[in-house]
Amino acid sequence: MTFDEIVEQQYGRLVRVARLIVFDEGRAREIVQETFARALVRWDRIGNYDRPDAWLMTVTVRQAVRVRDRSRREIPSDAAERSLTAAGPAASVEAHVLVQQGLAGLSTQQRAVVVLYHLEDLPIAEVADRLGVSAGTVKTQLSRARARLAELLDPDHEEVSP
- Using CB under 8 A as the criterion, which residues of the chain lie in contact with other proteins when the complex forms? 7-8, 11-13, 15-16, 19-20, 29-30, 33-34, 36-38, 40-42, 45, 55, 58-59, 62-63, 66, 84-88, 92-93, 95-96, 98-100, 114-115, 118-119, 121, 128-129, 132, 134, 146, 149-150, 153-154, 157, 159
Shortest separation between residue 144's beta carbon and other proteins, angstroms:
14
Shortest separation between residue 73's beta carbon and other proteins, angstroms:
20
* DSSP string across 67-86: HHHHH--PPPTTHHHHH---
User: Nearer Cβ to other proteins, position 75 or 115?
Assistant: 115
Shortest separation between residue 15's beta carbon and other proteins, angstroms:
6
User: Nearer Cβ to other proteins, position 77 or 157?
Assistant: 157
**Spatial separation of the C-alpha atoms in residues 139 and 117, rounded to whole Å:** 10
Count CB atoms within 10 A of the CB of residue 131. Answer: 19
Shortest separation between residue 88's beta carbon and other proteins, angstroms:
5
Residues 6+ apart with CB under 8 A from 68: 21, 22, 23, 108, 111
Q: Give exposure, 108-123, as e/b (b: 16+ Cβ within 10 Å).
A: bbbbbbbbbbeeeebe
User: Nearer Cβ to other proteins, position 73 or 88?
Assistant: 88
**Spatial separation of the C-alpha atoms in residues 150 and 55, rounded to whole Å:** 31
